[in-house]
Structure 1
């Protein structure tokens, strides 16, 4: 058990953030494990073949994110705000100094019994090889997470809203006691029951950064790299319904505005898909699907993401809200 004592200043500096990189590492670990996850089964079934086809299962992330244990801390820079973009967090990774990268890789070597060839190359020349790591992360994001980000972000934002309401109505102590079964708040101290490594304010920095995640697994993850505030990534509420099929009903009113074909495509994009897949599902011609997707994309209702030779289309948050509002 680890214990983190809080002062008034630490509580004043406690905040939340939604972090793309805290989804990248845990989601990659889940894919590489080969486990059929009871919640993420739909997502892994769609994404794992794309990741393999892109060779990402044999790249930088495959060495830096092992199946279990420690992941280098430089991959999770402190989010500068409540909702940083992936680009902002990649800038943080690229800004990691040589000492930080080598310190983290030394720990990875100790815990994994060695480093792979890419990790050794990164150790030798961190400032030049970090760009390759960032490039692979961008590719992984486009293949595995960007098409689903609207749905993931909705769950994360809802969790933060719920937690903020808890603080407003019942105080920070109730929030910290409710975050996870392995966490306890008592006598101005947060106790992490499943963390084996020691934790103190002298080694952890001030405040606390709470990060909801849909891929962290059953146990919260921590990052402790002073002088940054300690980061604690915990399972977000609502993960169980994340990949449930969302059938849009009563869309006749929406079809009167968007047209039947475009409304049909939006409903079919409950699961992201390529033009060919959408043509097969909808019965529309590939040319017609492409033309309508362009119009939907121009209107901000659809996003496009490169996955090898294919382009995967997905509904945006605007489209999700629009479909949810249909009576």
Structure 2
């Protein structure tokens, strides 16, 4: 239970509204950290508000891919949840509503894997989120060239006591509403008989938006998502995947087709989806080493490195980005040692386009 305190929180103007409340930045904190406050709607049942707090605290405790819980309290007028501040929601990042422009393919790979890990962690704890979408995926900027994704807004989350739920209302939890049921990102079965596969469907739709936005404007992206949802509801999702973007790793089309299957039982688990996304975003060290040996180049130039990466069959946009970053970090007079490149790629955890 949150503490009951009489205090005045230094909150800024509202920056968003979630399923269960309004979010504002915390203007000052004793530890100097960046926090946001969600003033939970008092119209929601008290036990539902307590559940949101408990599940966010539980899920974020050991997973950095979920918005980190700080504390919760009751003031004289509000029920307040304090958590890690983020910089922008995923939808704004995908549709160009932030100053950095289009995200790189490497960032999209990272976001995809981070969100898969977050949903899998929730499911491991038997927590069903029920509201995975690009507005509840939040980005934290890490310098001028990268960002990481967090899963947030646990206002509709529930703890699964059995393998499936039925209906819109679950005892002790916030009820589903028309906006949740009618969302383009919600599973066809949500609100009827549903379980963990419903989150997998929503995650798959979110990944579709991540990769489709590489080539599409906002209106075209909405059309892509609408088409995929309509296809899923008519049990023909595999034929309506549309454009996944020129930077999409090889294998993503089949991964998303499986996640968006009409039959819930046909979808992969969140753990399987995470593994497939990771495999599609990486090649193994031995594969890359063997490829470099066949080229017999001990010193790389940008042209040679680009040719080697192109021969992997990976997207040209990803290859060009890899070449640029590698030579900026490691190159000397337009040349770079093969061993230095491989060490940087695999020891620093950089993604090699697959």
TM-score range, shorter chain: under 0.3
TM-score, normalised to structure 1, is 0.27
| Bigger RCO (CA 8 Å, 6+ sep) | 1
TM-score, with structure 2 as normaliser: 0.26
